[in-house]
Structure 1
Amino acid sequence: MVQALVLGAIGCALLLMVFNYISLKSLNEGTTEMAEIAKIIRDGAKTFMVAEYRTIIVVVAIVAIMFSLFIEKTSGLTFILGATMSSATCIIGMRSATYANVHTANKAYETKSIGETVKIALMGGSVSGLSVQAFGLLGLLLIIMITGGIDLNGTGSGFIPVLKCNPTIMWLTTYSLGCSLVAMFNRVAGGNYTKAADISADIVAKVRNDMPEDDSRMPNTIADFIGDNVNDVAGNCSDLLESFVATIVVSLLIAASIAESNTAVFQATITYPLILAGGGLLGCVIGLFFTLKHKSGKDPSHELNIATYISAASVILIGGIAAFFTFGQIKLYNSFILGWASPWIASILGIASGVAIGKITEYYTSTKYRSVQGLAEIAKEGSAFVITKGDAIGSRSCLLPILVIGLSLLGSGMLCGVYGVAISALGMLSFVATTVSIDAFGPIADNAGGIAESCHLEPEVRDITDQLDAVGNTTAAIGKGFAIGSAAFATVSLIFAYVGSYSVTTTPILNIANFVVIAGGLVGGALIEYFSALLTDNTIESAHLMADEGSRQLKIPGIIEGTKRPDYEKCIHMATKQALHKMLIPSLLALLIPVIGGLFFGVEFVGGLLIGATIVAIPRAIFMGNSGGAFDNAKKHIESGGLKECGKGSGPHKASVVGDTVGDTRKDVVGVALDIFIKTMSTVANTLAPLFASFHIF
């Protein structure tokens, strides 16, 4: 019955997704030049994805074979299923975004209505968002249905027996790991691509030549447009799909561990996460459908908030009803201090945390508030002041989100123990379809503005797309904050599940006073710093090469005069080659470090590794995301006339461009990759915990 209801919600989401995609494709692309630019962007994004997946397919195949040979015979198939679902979401989301960008620009061109234009960008984003939650949940449900449910008593091994394991647990964790691996590759490669192109475009246009960054004469422009899609859309889709899947999986694993021999409690605790996830998806369908169909106003933020509030309210209502009917008729543990309502309230804490983190992020990154306005004002003093002030904003912005996360963890844990923490994490992600839809709105609006400028549309069109872009910058920053917050909840839940998988007591225990655990924690923290430096160096190296290529082309007679088209393809292929060349080592670190640590030093060392990495990564990711968002919007504030007599090309504007260049790598490369890095390590640890417990060298 429950499975049928969840399948029904998935069906509704897929129907709306297909309808929105078909509706989007049927729209007019505008002028011949607009259609031509849009096709170059679409083809370039496709070229990148094809090249990237040649590598991903090889790595996925090797890892799947290893799992089937040595861990559990069919776990390689579930690993491939996870990678497939994540990949399908990326491809669909990016395909939609590369149509939505030009249609958004053309809607502004035809109607001069900001309300109508918002709907097109959100429609494009909804295809990404709905696919994330629908595909992630569908793959998980297929595993449960095909295998006949969750069996705690089964045992299995690989074709070459190394250890005995529970097949059900292995199927779930390898499915989640398949999603994680694709997300890691997409985030690392996509981040390098988009920011190498973006930074090089800023340097060549604004710093070296006093040109608009989206000027079609500038060869790096199209690569920059493509980058918005391969990272901010495709990368974000795979990132949040992985978080969503990981929270459901860890909820099921913890439910299985606490139920022991009580069949009724076992069925209730594994049923509720599925209902909450399916009900959340249905709530997203309702929220997005209503927002796209009702009459729009002139405030883009208000339109986007409507979708969020309807989705969140629907989840709360459905979650309460489901909790009553799921837990109301059984004898619960004493740890469920408010009876049947405990898991429901825990999920509300997660939802409230997500909303609160979004609002805090908005305060520190939006042009509406004094943090960004003050950063723009101090640009009059030069770039050094901008960087220093931006760093202070980023550091200050860490405290409140982490307090929110900490209080929610405490509250949900008090309500119903470790299970409550997992449900709180799932509550935060239960309406992820709407969150991703609004997040994808940002790069679509950014691309639309770039197309409007590249195709020399009238200033009124660019004014509309600039307003959407400014809102999109904030929604993107909120989305990053949401992703980091959900990663914190998911990783903490995964650590609980990991420690519980080898603990001899019913309560997971990791002795942090143990020197092995402390050593692991120190290594985990240092690893985050090394990973951050590796991604930053890779991006700057790529950006430097692309900036030199852009400057070289501008010296060719006819290009700067506008009588000859630049060689866009060379920049696109350069960005692709650099991104793919530099993605392998950072991505494999997340897979190999837990394996090496576990095989050499055992389960406790890996437990410390996960805790140390998480404690360092969460504030680091918040700092990176919020300081980068503040830098970006301070520049936008100056460009929109927020500072008197300090417009584009002025000294303060150039100082803000320097800040934006620094922030680009922070918010779109390092910050977004840190959360998936710690989740991937935690998922690997959960998958291989039986191996680490039975064998280690020291």
Structure 2
Amino acid sequence: MEEVQIQTVAIIASLISLGFAAFLTWTVVKKDQGSDQVKFIGKAIQEGAMAFLSREYRLLAAFVIVVAIILALFIDYDVLNRIGESSESIPGTAIAYLVGAIGSAFAGFIGMSIAVRANTRTAVQAIDGLNPALRVAFNSGAVMGLSVVGLALIGVTLMLIAFNNDVGIVAGFGFGASSIALFARVGGGIYTKAADVGADLVGKVEQGIPEDDPRNPATIADNVGDNVGDVAGMGADLFESYVGSIVAAVALAGSAGALASGQSDLMLFPLLVASIGIISSILGTFLVRTGEGADMGRLLWSLRTGIFSAGALVLAGTAGLILYFDLDFDLFYVVLIGLVAGQLIGTASEYYTSYEYKPTRKLAEQSETGPATIMIGGLGLGMMSTVIPGVVIVAAMWGSYELANLYGVALAAVGMLSTLGITLATDAYGPVADNAGGIAEQAALDPEVRERTDALDSLGNTTAATGKGFAIGSAVLTALALMAAYAGVVQEARGVPLTLDLMNTDVMMGLIIGSIMPFVFSALTMQAVGRAAYAMVQEVRRQFREIKGLLDGTAEPDYAKAVDISTAGAMKEMVLPGMIAIVVPVVVGIYSVEALGGLLMGSIATGFLFAIMMANAGGAWDNAKKYIESGMFGGKGSDQHSAAVVGDTVGDPFKDTSGPALNILLKLMSIVALVFGPLFIG
């Protein structure tokens, strides 16, 4: 197999992906923006989102430069003389780190830019019907999905070419992507939930005004939050998973054991799978459409058609390539395992969080006896929902390891993420539909428009739950593969394998510290949301108290002040969780490489289950509330509804801040171990 040929294929596929994303952007932006009132609301959301992003990126730029200098000094130039190699003439790891960070930030920027332009256009298209609105919202999501995979694949490929397949240096690219992803996820999550909780508690509960009411000062901040958390944050998260899985597979190509294929073939095979995935995702987007008056089932099926078709095309393409290049056919089964595992975890999340199914309906019923029982029921549901994803991940690990050793685990993650171009599209479209509903409400558009955007929003909630499960599953496989790559680095430097024996006290200490990490990290993010939401609640109450005529609609609220409070809170609160994720593995690694191995094992085991529990409990509380709002158990305004709103308010930071951020914690700690590994052994 020609190395140059494969790298060329990967670059061409990436450019096609970015080109198609640009075409979709044009199809969205040329649509009508509607009345002056719609434009005004859209502009306020756009300005708020961009203000947040520019402040976040300015803060992150300083952090990234400091880390790049540390990498250049201690890894590339080895100033402590611990690695024992001659100093590099070019600081490759530092350069790769900077490129990875810029790529991740750019992916988030693209997703945010299109989402804040598509929301008004989706609302306006909903005047004409359901299908035009679905197309605009979905196309904006596809821009995000295809930009993420295009930038990630071209970035990894160019790093492999530039640094002659040096995995240690290319891991720096993954580290850069992870750093930005963590701060984007945590910062975006704190912002969106502070605004959401503030808007709900004062607006809905205290003042009794509907969701997205223009009289609520936190309404615009809430709409901005949907974009910074669910679009920019999710994009950076999956950009990092995508990069991490490829980096791990390349690093583990030498460990493929009994496979007949050569090591150089196996190093580049993930690039081919990713390239096929991009083309398959583009073809899949053409199949997403629906008829007028479609119910939830029909809408969901239209998205599933696109995803399943893309998956089938990936499998067909992978089989063709394996036969063409005369590779071991076991690789096909590994990719199949990854794809199927991703779908199963997503489907399990949907079962536990959608009100179409028994668990969430049962949870809604518990609102009959007040907030306490709905809280207890939601926590129990979340804990029980870890079983299926846990079993699926164990089965996927076993199957892929049996077929292709540790390389198989990494390749299964690549397979799972191969259709990310379209999977992320179905996820990123949700916030656009949600925003469109808010705009329809604030601009007082026809009630039929709100019904259509609500149908799309309900679908968005379901795909978001599926997407979160998918993101967590892919994070676990990626983190496991990166941990295996770290063990490989230690073995290469020492000449003996890294044995993580539980009778070794270093390993056991690391295991316990690693198990603590997801809890500390989640506590910090939950408390951060609480503090930021408190500031928001105080501001919204102040405006209702001091602005005369606000409640009867004769005066305008100060939206910008609420946006500023959420932004400032998120910036301040995201620093500590982010620093802990990077500093703790380095400190433990300096003490002992075995302890660091234990830390990674502990964090992956507890973090995976905790993330699933939080995402599904939060999703179920949210949809139990929506089920009651549809007229069940007393409907809107009833005591049952008030109980469900309490559950939803607690569930918000569960599913949108702490849960999703744990994915990145697992991957980031593993990649920190991989990048700094040589330093710990010296």
Distance in 1 of aligned mates of 2:404 and 2:536: 53
Among candidates 120, 134, 145, match of residue 150 of structure 2 = 134
Distance in 1 of aligned mates of 2:537 and 2:97: 39
Q: Does residue 68 of structure 2 align to residue 64 of structure 1?
A: yes
Residue 513 of structure 1: CA displacement?
2.3
Counterpart of 1:160 in structure 2 is none
Quick check: 1:366–1:633 contact (8 Å CA) kept in 2?
yes
Quick check: 2:338–2:416 contact (8 Å CA) kept in 1?
yes
Secondary structure of the 2:286 match is helix
In structure 2, give the amino acid aligned to 1:7: I
In structure 2, give the amino acid aligned to 1:445: A
Quick check: 1:390–1:630 contact (8 Å CA) kept in 2?
yes
In structure 2, give the amino acid aligned to 1:133: V
Residue 512 of structure 1: CA displacement?
2.5
Counterpart of 1:125 in structure 2 is 141
Quick check: 1:297–1:303 contact (8 Å CA) kept in 2?
no
Quick check: 1:272–1:323 contact (8 Å CA) kept in 2?
no
Q: Does residue 664 of structure 2 align to residue 664 of structure 1?
A: no
Counterpart of 1:287 in structure 2 is 284
Distance in 2 of aligned mates of 1:259 and 1:70: 33
Q: Does residue 567 of structure 2 align to residue 576 of structure 1?
A: yes
- Superposition CA RMSD, Å: 1.6
Distance in 2 of aligned mates of 1:630 and 1:534: 23
Q: Does residue 272 of structure 2 align to residue 275 of structure 1?
A: yes
Q: How many residues align?
A: 658
Q: Does residue 554 of structure 2 align to residue 559 of structure 1?
A: no
Secondary structure of the 1:291 match is coil
Stretches of structure 2 lacking an aligned partner (at least 5 in a row) = 77-90
* Aligned residue runs from structure 1 range 67-466, under 5 A: 67-72=71-76, 73-109=91-127, 111=128, 113-147=129-163, 149-150=164-165, 168-257=166-255, 265-291=262-288, 298=294, 299-328=298-327, 340-466=328-454
Quick check: 2:287–2:302 contact (8 Å CA) kept in 1?
no
Give the % identical residues: 39
1:442 to 1:678, Cα distance in 2 relative to 1, 3 A: same
Counterpart of 1:16 in structure 2 is 20
Quick check: 1:452–1:462 contact (8 Å CA) kept in 2?
yes
Residue 552 of structure 1: CA displacement?
1.2
Distance in 2 of aligned mates of 1:235 and 1:136: 15
In structure 2, give the amino acid aligned to 1:134: G
In structure 1, give the amino acid aligned to 2:220: I
Counterpart of 1:42 in structure 2 is 46
Residue 146 of structure 1: CA displacement?
2.6
Counterpart of 2:673 in structure 1 is 685
Quick check: 2:130–2:291 contact (8 Å CA) kept in 1?
no
Residue 115 of structure 1: CA displacement?
2.2
Residue 259 of structure 1: CA displacement?
8.0
Residue 323 of structure 1: CA displacement?
2.1
Residue 342 of structure 1: CA displacement?
1.0
TM-score, structure 1 normalization? 0.92
Quick check: 1:133–1:433 contact (8 Å CA) kept in 2?
yes
Residue 544 of structure 1: CA displacement?
1.1
In structure 2, give the amino acid aligned to 1:428: M
Q: Deviations over 1:185-244 (max 9, x none)?
A: 101100000000001111011111111121010000100000000010000000000000
Counterpart of 2:503 in structure 1 is 513
Residue 509 of structure 1: CA displacement?
3.4
Distance in 2 of aligned mates of 1:495 and 1:400: 23
Quick check: 2:255–2:407 contact (8 Å CA) kept in 1?
no
Among candidates 608, 623, 626, match of residue 616 of structure 2 = 626
Q: Deviations over 1:360-383 (max 9, x none)?
A: 111001121111111112212111
After TM superposition, which residue ranges in structure 1, 4 or more long, deviate above 4 angstroms?
Answer: 257-260, 294-297, 504-508
Q: Deviations over 1:673-692 (max 9, x none)?
A: 00101110000000011111
Q: Does residue 528 of structure 2 align to residue 538 of structure 1?
A: yes
Distance in 1 of aligned mates of 2:93 and 2:223: 38
Structure 1, 264-273 or 422-431: larger mean CA deviation: 264-273
In structure 2, give the amino acid aligned to 1:24: V
Quick check: 2:257–2:405 contact (8 Å CA) kept in 1?
no
Distance in 2 of aligned mates of 1:79 and 1:24: 33
Distance in 2 of aligned mates of 1:658 and 1:264: 56
Q: Deviations over 1:594-631 (max 9, x none)?
A: 111111x2210100011111111011000000000001
Distance in 1 of aligned mates of 2:183 and 2:42: 25
Quick check: 1:258–1:506 contact (8 Å CA) kept in 2?
no
Residue 642 of structure 1: CA displacement?
3.2
In structure 1, give the amino acid aligned to 2:276: G
1:297 to 1:649, Cα distance in 2 relative to 1, 3 A: closer
Quick check: 2:278–2:418 contact (8 Å CA) kept in 1?
yes
1:418 to 1:506, Cα distance in 2 relative to 1, 3 A: farther
In structure 1, give the amino acid aligned to 2:415: G
Secondary structure of the 1:443 match is helix
Q: Deviations over 1:253-299 (max 9, x none)?
A: 00045589x9961121112111001111111111113436x878822
Q: Deviations over 1:82-106 (max 9, x none)?
A: 0111011000000111111111111
Quick check: 1:206–1:654 contact (8 Å CA) kept in 2?
no
Distance in 2 of aligned mates of 1:631 and 1:263: 50
Distance in 2 of aligned mates of 1:66 and 1:278: 34
1:400 to 1:487, Cα distance in 2 relative to 1, 3 A: same
Counterpart of 1:650 in structure 2 is 638
In structure 1, give the amino acid aligned to 2:571: L
Distance in 2 of aligned mates of 1:618 and 1:130: 27
In structure 2, give the amino acid aligned to 1:219: P
In structure 2, give the amino acid aligned to 1:230: V
Distance in 1 of aligned mates of 2:509 and 2:355: 43
Counterpart of 1:597 in structure 2 is 588
Residue 325 of structure 1: CA displacement?
2.9
Among candidates 53, 58, 62, match of residue 57 of structure 2 = 53
Q: Deviations over 1:286-345 (max 9, x none)?
A: 1113436x87882221111111011111111111122223343xxxxxxxxxxx111110
Distance in 2 of aligned mates of 1:226 and 1:70: 40
Quick check: 1:133–1:241 contact (8 Å CA) kept in 2?
yes
Quick check: 1:272–1:322 contact (8 Å CA) kept in 2?
no
In structure 1, give the amino acid aligned to 2:160: I
Quick check: 1:115–1:300 contact (8 Å CA) kept in 2?
no
In structure 1, give the amino acid aligned to 2:676: L
Distance in 2 of aligned mates of 1:489 and 1:257: 16
Quick check: 2:490–2:497 contact (8 Å CA) kept in 1?
no
Stretches of structure 1 lacking an aligned partner (at least 5 in a row) = 151-167, 329-339
Q: Deviations over 1:480-530 (max 9, x none)?
A: 100100011011111111112112678763222211001001011112111
In structure 2, give the amino acid aligned to 1:62: V
Q: Does residue 29 of structure 2 align to residue 33 of structure 1?
A: no
